[in-house]
Structure 1
Amino acid sequence: MKSLVIGSNGCTVFNSKGEIVFRVDNYQTRCSREVLLMDYNGRVLFSIKRKKLLIFRSWEGYKWTNSEFDPEKGEWFKVRRKCKFFSRGISSCHVIQGCNKTGGHCCYKVVGLKGKPTMKITDCTGRVLAEVVQKQSSGGVSLGDDVLSLMVEPQIDQSLIMALVIVYAMINHKL
Structure 2
Amino acid sequence: MSRIHPSHNHHQGQDQSMSKEKTHPYVLTVWKRSTMTFQGTDGFTVFDHHGKLAFRVDNYSRNNSTAILMDGAGKALLTLKPQIFSMQWHAYRGEGCCRRRKSSERGEKPKALFSMRSSGSMVFNGGSGDDEEAQVFMGPTSSSSSSGCKAHDDTPDFKVQGCFRRRNCVIRNSQGEIAARISRKRVKNKTVVLGDDVFNLVVQPGFQPQLMMAFIIVLDRIHNKHYYTPLLCS
Please say if residues 4 and 12 of structure 1, whose CA atoms lie closer than 8 Å, have aligned partners that are also in contact: yes
2:33 is matched with 2
1:44 corresponds to which of 76, 86, 91: 76
Richer in strand (by share): 1
2:201 corresponds to which of 144, 150, 153: 150
1:86 is matched with 124
Q: Which moved more, 1:124-133 or 1:44-53?
A: 44-53
1:163 corresponds to which of 195, 214, 220: 214
Q: Which moved more, 1:3-12 or 1:14-23?
A: 3-12
2:137 corresponds to which of 96, 101, 126: 96
3-state SS, counterpart of residue 75 of structure 1: strand
Deviation at 1:26, TM superposition (A): 2.2
3-state SS, counterpart of residue 76 of structure 1: strand
TM-score, normalised by the number of residues in structure 1? 0.85
Change (3 A) 1:37 1:79: same
After superposing on structure 2, the runs of 4+ consecutive aligned residues of structure 1 that deviate more than 4 Å are none
**Match for 2:113: what amino acid?**
W
3-state SS, counterpart of residue 172 of structure 1: helix
Matches within 5 A, 1:69-148: 69-71=98-100, 72=103, 73-84=110-121, 85-89=123-127, 90=131, 92-100=133-141, 103=150, 106-113=156-163, 115-137=165-187, 138-148=189-199
**Match for 2:136: what amino acid?**
V
3-state SS, counterpart of residue 179 of structure 2: strand
3-state SS, counterpart of residue 155 of structure 1: coil
2: CA distance between counterparts of 1:140 and 1:164?
Answer: 28
Percentage of identical aligned residues: 29
- Larger RCO (alpha carbons 8 Å, 6+ apart): 2
**Match for 2:125: what amino acid?**
S
Confirm whether residue 23 of structure 1 aligns to residue 56 of structure 2: yes
3-state SS, counterpart of residue 126 of structure 2: coil
**Match for 2:212: what amino acid?**
I
Matches within 5 A, 1:57-68: 57-64=87-94
**Match for 2:111: what amino acid?**
G
Give the greater-gyration-radius structure (CA). 2
Q: Output one character per residue of 1:26-53: Cα deviation in whole Å (capped at 9) or x when no partner.
A: 22226x4211100011011111111125
Deviation at 1:69, TM superposition (A): 4.3
TM-score, normalised by the number of residues in structure 2? 0.65
Number of residue-to-residue matches in the alignment: 170
2:19 is matched with none
Structure 1: gaps spanning 5 or more residues: none
RMSD over aligned Cα atoms: 2.5
3-state SS, counterpart of residue 149 of structure 1: strand
Deviation at 1:88, TM superposition (A): 2.4
Structure 2: gaps spanning 5 or more residues: 1-31, 104-109, 143-148, 226-234
Deviation at 1:103, TM superposition (A): 3.4
